[in-house]
Structure 1
Amino acid sequence: MAAASGYTILDQRLDHYKEIVSKKKEEKDMTKGFLLDFFKILDPKGQAHLAQDVSGCATDELLRLLVKSLTDCLLGPMKGAGGKTSSNPTPMVPRLGIEDSIDNMVAQDHDPVTRGAQKALRRNCMQRDGSRCVASRAWQNGLENIPDDDDTANLEAAHILPFNLGSFNRNDSQEVLKHANTWVNINRYFPTLKTMSFTSEHLNAEKNAMMLDRTLHFEFSAFRMCFVATGIRNQYHIKTFKDIPSQALKCLPTNRLATFQSHSGSWELPDPELLRIHAQLAEFFHMSGHGERIDKILRDYEELGVLASDGSTNVEDLLAIRLSSLPLNVRERSDSESKPSGKHPLSKEQGGPSENVRPRSDSESKASGKHVAPKRGGQQPSPSGPENKP
């Protein structure tokens, strides 16, 4: 019933949305489809929050900015953008409640996760998973007394929710703020994590990791593979998507089933809820090419470094993605603030970004020189870093 109500609220607002028309196919306005698809993969409480946020957007520009916020401070980090998509000041969002406010999240003073802790994580998961890949069942390469007919592989400790979500410089106020924005979005749309008391400090916990063949680790981190619960305790169907390489498919068992069990130690098995959220995100990234568009935006940062000379760089997306957060509950504003006032919808009076993050004109962009391209951890050959090497 809640989902049906959410759909009604969502449809009522999106029915009035006017798409931006572009002659270029790759620049098609996907705002409406993006929000409808994201709604589909959420649980009822997350759906209710998204419906509330969408209906609270008084202008179409705010709806587009909501999509940019979700990309920059939720989906981008999940894809591996980490905390560094922009060096510009991050706009604040209105309070969603004391416990969910940006200020409160910053005040919790979470410690960043470190690569050093991954050595212990790898050791513990290797023992728990019996020195075997949980998907392919291949043994860790180099072990003795392995049956002749069994496969071996270089195994790595694969995070379920990515390490990037907890990686930031606590001495950099903008990175701290970006981290807080991201986790406010995560808790708002995936509220079971908050119920579990799962924070960025738990990303290196054993329940958020498992041993995977290096090839499968890369595909899992890229959301081209996920684990879907079968209804049998600790048993999962290994679901793959059409963009996964054929070489990775050869690593998987023919029945596409994986059963998690503890072979040694008392460490928790991969958490079903974390695996479910990963699977929900994998589904979204493969709806209508949303994942491909997000990847392209992130590649523009990482690979180009400067605006392309042929004008192919999506400048609007590169600039808009810098807006790290959108007023998620516009209804918390007063009626006078929500009504059109003749001012730009993102003016300070309406809670938008300050003038120092306004989009620049063409002449300003040409004169500005290079765009610094931050590196993304999720696109490295070994998604979890050097500590994961066997």
Structure 2
Amino acid sequence: MPAEPLYRYQSSLEGILDFLTRPPLSVVQYQAAARKFAELIDHFDQGTNQKPRDKRYDRVTLVRLTYEYARTEESKGNFLRAFFESAGTPVDDNLNAHPIDLSNPNTEAALRDSIHNFADYLFENFFLPLKASARKTPQPSPASHSAVLSILQEPHTFLGTPDRVAALRGACLIRDHHRCVITRLFDCEEAEKRINSSRLQGIVALDDEGNPFTPGNKYDLLQVAHILPHSLTQLSANNDLNNSKAAALAILNMFDHGAAHLIEGTDIDRPGNAITVTIFMRQWFGNFKVFFEPVEQQAHTYRIDTFSPMILGDVLPVTRTLYLTESRTIDPPSPRLLAIHKAIAHILHLSAAGAYIDKILRDLEDQSVREDGSSELDLLVKLKLQLQGWPAGQAAEGRS
């Protein structure tokens, strides 16, 4: 494969990321692309090939892990096609016909830049806005039981976001037995309501398992946490997805081909994309620092673990079997979406992109621009516009 085409990195992957309208790679194409990708990553995944700017996060590791955590061969094929086509090299049966001369400094530099630019595209259009927006799930009061049943039977009954999320919170509380799926603490508001009601009736207040509340029980305020953030598919004022969010959904299909359909439109506010947690755990889960690992041969059972054992070591790891409603009218948390969440969590942690995003978010909250340039002004501007729901391209236009 001649090195020349790899010099032409495309700053926009529009069209390249349109996986659903294109046939998957053939077996020959997939195998050739996988071998070539492994050759490049093995070469550049060495400390001697790191540039000073890589101290922000490990770009090669982010690219490698995004490929490795793709859930199916078709998803991996989507990634390989985007990776090579972004560098101006289409994936065809002749991809491995010409070796790459990595001993040539110009070729090596061009390939390194191509990998780094692809990593930056994934970082800026997926990982950064995803992690930033995951902390912003709205928390209206849970809808009444009748309203929950109504929206489950007729998903479009509530068209407004607050009503949908209120119904979602109510549905998750019912499904999860009013307990945090991680700590198993009971919702304090629901407990108080049941205790007061039972006192008036002269009966004993019971939890969802039929056990009486006792003074020794522990409670907490519970909220709903989206597995993939609510704002990922939030429409603009023109009732459409902006380019930035459309790109994020396309990148999502590189993790699990077709997974974007699970959260299209109002489906992102369905119970399959949410869990009930304490406020404290919602922060850690939303920051992709707590993740769910499925236990083999045990349906809806997970080993819940963390990348912050010094802080959460008294709670995690723990194995939990998620509650299911007897009638199965409320969907359980989607194993596919939990797997994607876990993959994102590992990529962010192992590439150090998560820590870098935390720094960017601190700068955004502080509204600080450091004199030494370490505040990444360009990313701050772009992220602020993304969180406001504007097309990210407007950020670039505003700086030109």
| TM-score tier (shorter) | 0.5 to 0.7
Per-residue CA deviation, residues 332-360 of structure 1 (Å, 9 max, x unaligned), is xxxxxxxxxxxxxxxxxxxxx99x65987
Determine which of 144, 163, 167 is the counterpart of 2:234: 167
Determine which of 256, 265, 269 is the counterpart of 1:190: 256
Per-residue CA deviation, residues 202-257 of structure 1 (Å, 9 max, x unaligned), is 1110111121111111111111111111020111111211x2562x44445x7433
In 2 relative to 1, CA 266–4 (structure 1 residues): closer, same or farther, beyond 3 Å?
same
Residue 160 of structure 1 and its aligned partner are, at CA, apart by 0.8
In 2 relative to 1, CA 322–66 (structure 1 residues): closer, same or farther, beyond 3 Å?
farther
* Unaligned runs of at least 5 residues, structure 2: 1-26, 89-109, 135-157, 196-204, 206-212, 387-392
Name which of structure 1's ranges 153-162 and 143-152 shifts more when overlaid on structure 2.
Answer: 143-152
Residue 323 of structure 1 and its aligned partner are, at CA, apart by 12
Determine which structure has the larger helix proportion and give its number: 2
The one-letter code matched in structure 2 to 1:159 is H
In 2 relative to 1, CA 120–316 (structure 1 residues): closer, same or farther, beyond 3 Å?
closer
Q: Secondary structure at the match of 2:224?
A: strand
Determine which of 299, 323, 327 is the counterpart of 1:233: 299
Confirm or deny: 8 A CA contact 1:112 1:169 kept in the other structure.
Answer: no
In 2 relative to 1, CA 197–261 (structure 1 residues): closer, same or farther, beyond 3 Å?
closer
* TM-score, normalised by the number of residues in structure 1: 0.64
- Partner in structure 1 of residue 244 of structure 2: 178
Confirm or deny: 8 A CA contact 1:206 1:268 kept in the other structure.
Answer: yes
| Percent identity for Structure 1 against Structure 2 | 20
- Partner in structure 2 of residue 65 of structure 1: 117
Tell me, in whole angstroms, the C-alpha distance in 1 between the residues paired with 2:164 and 2:367: 31
Determine which of 349, 352, 371 is the counterpart of 1:309: 371
Tell me, in whole angstroms, the C-alpha distance in 1 between the residues paired with 2:290 and 2:252: 21
* Unaligned runs of at least 5 residues, structure 1: 83-110, 325-352, 361-390
- Partner in structure 1 of residue 128 of structure 2: 76
Residue 9 of structure 1 and its aligned partner are, at CA, apart by 2.3
- Partner in structure 1 of residue 320 of structure 2: 257
- Partner in structure 2 of residue 107 of structure 1: none
Tell me, in whole angstroms, the C-alpha distance in 1 between the residues paired with 2:385 and 2:63: 18
Tell me, in whole angstroms, the C-alpha distance in 2 between the residues paired with 1:282 and 1:291: 8
Confirm or deny: 8 A CA contact 1:113 1:204 kept in the other structure.
Answer: no
* TM-score, normalised by the number of residues in structure 2: 0.63
- Partner in structure 2 of residue 287 of structure 1: 350
Tell me, in whole angstroms, the C-alpha distance in 1 between the residues paired with 2:56 and 2:305: 30
Name which of structure 1's ranges 64-73 and 122-131 shifts more when overlaid on structure 2.
Answer: 64-73
- Partner in structure 2 of residue 42 of structure 1: 70
Tell me, in whole angstroms, the C-alpha distance in 2 between the residues paired with 1:187 and 1:112: 26
Q: Secondary structure at the match of 2:62?
A: helix
From the CA coordinates, give the structure whose radius of gyration is larger.
2
Confirm or deny: 8 A CA contact 2:133 2:229 kept in the other structure.
Answer: no
Per-residue CA deviation, residues 15-38 of structure 1 (Å, 9 max, x unaligned), is 67695633x78357x332221122
Residue 192 of structure 1 and its aligned partner are, at CA, apart by 4.0
Tell me, in whole angstroms, the C-alpha distance in 1 between the residues paired with 2:385 and 2:163: 31
Is 1:32 the counterpart of 2:60 in the alignment? yes
How many aligned residue pairs are there? 297
